Structures are given as C-alpha cells and as structure tokens.
Structure 1
Amino acid sequence: MLCLTALENPLFPLLSLEATRVVSGEVWRLLSANLVHFGWAHTLMNVGALLLCALAFFTEASPTKFSLLLLWCCFAVGMGIFLLNPEYVPYAGLSGALHGLIVAGLLQTRAYPFWVRAVALVLVAVKLGQENSTGYEATDIQQLIPVAVAVESHFYGAIAGVIFAGGDWLLTQLKRNS
C-alpha cells in the first residue's frame, strides 16, 4: 500500500473502484480498490490499523487463514460498494476490510476474556450504527482525506467478518464431528 501511494498518479486511476469500469470487465477493481488510498494520511491510517489489528488478533493465526480473511473482506467490501453504493466514484481504501478483520478477530481470538471481546463487539456495533445514521458526518477524518468517508464500507466489512468467523467455526465443528 505504501508503494502504491508513492506511485499514486499512474496507478490510482487503474486500481480504484468505479462501478462503470467493473461492468466493462475491469473486475480486479473489486479487490485492488482496497489497496489504493486518497493520499499519505489515508494510507498511513489504514496501514497502522492493519498492523494493530494483525498484532491484536492474528498473531496465532496461520498466514493462509489471515490472507483468506483479508482477501474475503476486501472482496466483500468491493462487491458491497459496487452493488449498493456505485455513487462512490472512485472508491478507495482499506477501512471497510479492516472492520471485517476487527469483527472476525474479536469473534475468533482467545487472547482476551469473553467479556472484553463482547464489550468491544458492542462498541463496534454502536460505531457502525452511528456512522450509518442519518446526518452523520466524519468531520475529524474529513480534514485528513479529501473525500467523504464511505461509512457503508465499514458495515460491509463487518458483515464479511461475521460471515468468515461463522464459516470458520462451522468448518471446525464439522471436522470435529467427522
């Protein structure tokens, strides 16, 4: 992501999500939009959050499992924006997928007591509710990035995290019973 931001001028237009370009066959944008950002402040916030999330929840997860979760969350966010919010032209950033990592991490980690994870999940749900309420504006963040925050992407990512954690739990149960 840091390299992509450094090479922003030629790559951003090729990688950011625009629904009309996806319809015309540029389907890679559903994933690649999560890797490009609106400038250095946006990139550094997302890279920092990715590192914190990985350290807080996924130090004991296999690289394959973490990679699949990240890929799934990026794809789910890309599809959500493509299908439900095509007005974001262009869409870019990792914060939606990060919400998926946070939710899946809280549901799956055993590094923290249940009550800590439950409280954190409630706080994430409250945040998502506030962000998606009528009249919400991310004024503090708007000073750092030059576009409106696509708060819907946070919701799509959180749902992807729930689906991943649920699917992983189901697979574990099926393996135990066979």
Structure 2
Amino acid sequence: MFVRTESFSQFIRLYPIVSFIVGIHIVIFGVNLVPFLPEIWIYEHLAGVNLFIQEGEWWRLITPIFVHIGFAHFLFNTFSLILFAPPLERYLGKLKFLALYFLSGIIANVATFILKPLTYSHVGASGAIFGLFGFYLSMVAFQNHILSKESKQVILPIVVIGFLMTFFQSGINVTAHIVGLASGFVFGWLATKNN
C-alpha cells in the first residue's frame, strides 16, 4: 500500500491530485533558488504570519501549506506526501482527497492563528499531512478491515513517532500537528458514518 512501484508517468496518471500538490511544492521551493530573488521573498509573501492574517491577508491561511524553508523540511514533507497520500487519493477519490488534505491544512492554520500570538509565523504542509495520518488512524479505529496488517504495521509507528517528535524538535508548529491530526481523524469518522 505504501510502497511506490509506479513509473513517473504512471504516478502522475494514477494520482493527479498528489502529483499536482507535489508539483506546487517543487515550484515554490525552486523559486527560492532563483539567483536574482532574495531567498526570503517567498516567505515574506506566503508564510502564515498571524499579524498579517489579522490585517486581512487571509490567503496566508492557505499558502503556508505549500511553503517550506530549507531542503530537509521540503524533502520530508514532500516525501511523506508521495508515500502516504496516494492510497488515500485512490480510496477517497480526487475531490474527497482534495477536501481532506486542504481542510486539514487550513483548519490547522486557523487554529494556529487563533491560539498563537500575533508575532507567530509558520510554513509547511505538516498540518495537512497530519490530517492524512489522522484519517488513517480513523480507518484503523472504525474501518479496520480496509487496511492490511502490514499497512497498519507501517502507518501506526509512523504516526506515533511523528506525533512524539512534534514535541522534541525545535521550530515545529505543535498546534498545526495536533489540530491537523484531529481534523483528519474527525473527517475519517464522518466518512465512516456516511458509508
């Protein structure tokens, strides 16, 4: 389920939404590498800065989902998306997957705006990715038969380790991780009730 064996063209054809999101990650990260643009340009215009959100720059509740600072941050979130998102895009369908991903990320960013001080700023897809993890947890809790034993043995430790690392690494938006995870879990529970 989590092993990617598709060719590049097969991946794009089978998982167009995941491919589109990954493409946006790459383009935005690539803009940071353009020599004549200051590296901070993307951050200044797209980061979730609570003060600017309060002043009406509402797009900053969405754009941080695509912005990463540093190669390690970009690589980890993009790799997580490539590894864990395709099974959910296939299971949920394009529109429901898109809703799960973006609503989890946006809700995590709204919670960050509400709970963090006005001086707080953040970037990264972690809230949305933790939304996917939350959805997987709801599948384990409410639709146990859908995931194979092997898939559960992969996803559960990843979620637990990812969640625990939230509290031991500096510069992590703890609020976004917790709220993203909870949002995905609730969406999964709602999906179960509607089936």
Give the TM interval when normalised to the shorter protein: 0.7 to 0.9
* Backbone CA RMSD of aligned residues: 2.7
1:124 correspondence with 2:159: yes
Greater RCO, CA 8 A, separation 6+: 1
Q: Is the 8 A contact 2:109 2:127 kept in 1?
A: no
Change (3 A) 1:17 1:158: same
Q: Give a deviation string over 1:92-144, Cα, whole Å, max 9, x none.
A: 0011221110120342371324x96499558735753x456xxx432xxx6xx
How many residues are treated as equivalent by the alignment? 159
Alpha-carbon offset, residue 12 of structure 1: 2.1
What is the correspondence of 1:152-163 to structure 2 with a 5 Å cutoff?
A: 152-163=175-186
Structure-2-length-normalised TM-score: 0.70
Aligned to 1:74: 105
AA aligned to 2:101 is: L
- Tell me the distance in 2 between the aligned counterparts of 1:71 and 1:38: 20
Change (3 A) 1:118 1:44: closer
Q: Is the 8 A contact 1:57 1:111 kept in 2?
A: no
AA aligned to 1:14 is: H
1:46 correspondence with 2:82: no
Residue from 102, 110, 122 that aligns with 1:91: 122
Aligned to 2:172: 149
Q: Is the 8 A contact 1:58 1:105 kept in 2?
A: no
- Tell me the distance in 2 between the aligned counterparts of 1:120 and 1:53: 9
Q: Is the 8 A contact 1:103 1:121 kept in 2?
A: no
Secondary structure at the aligned position of 1:33 is classed as: helix
Alpha-carbon offset, residue 170 of structure 1: 2.5
Structure 2 spans left out of the alignment, 5+ residues: 1-24, 33-38
Q: Which runs of 4+ in 1 moved over 4 A?
A: 118-123
Alpha-carbon offset, residue 88 of structure 1: 6.7
- Tell me the distance in 2 between the aligned counterparts of 1:86 and 1:70: 25
Aligned to 1:111: 147
Q: Is the 8 A contact 1:4 1:35 kept in 2?
A: yes
Structure-1-length-normalised TM-score: 0.76
Aligned to 1:170: 193
Alpha-carbon offset, residue 30 of structure 1: 0.7
Structure 1 spans left out of the alignment, 5+ residues: 143-147, 173-178
Change (3 A) 1:41 1:121: closer
- Tell me the distance in 1 between the aligned counterparts of 2:102 and 2:114: 18
Percent same amino acid among aligned pairs?
23
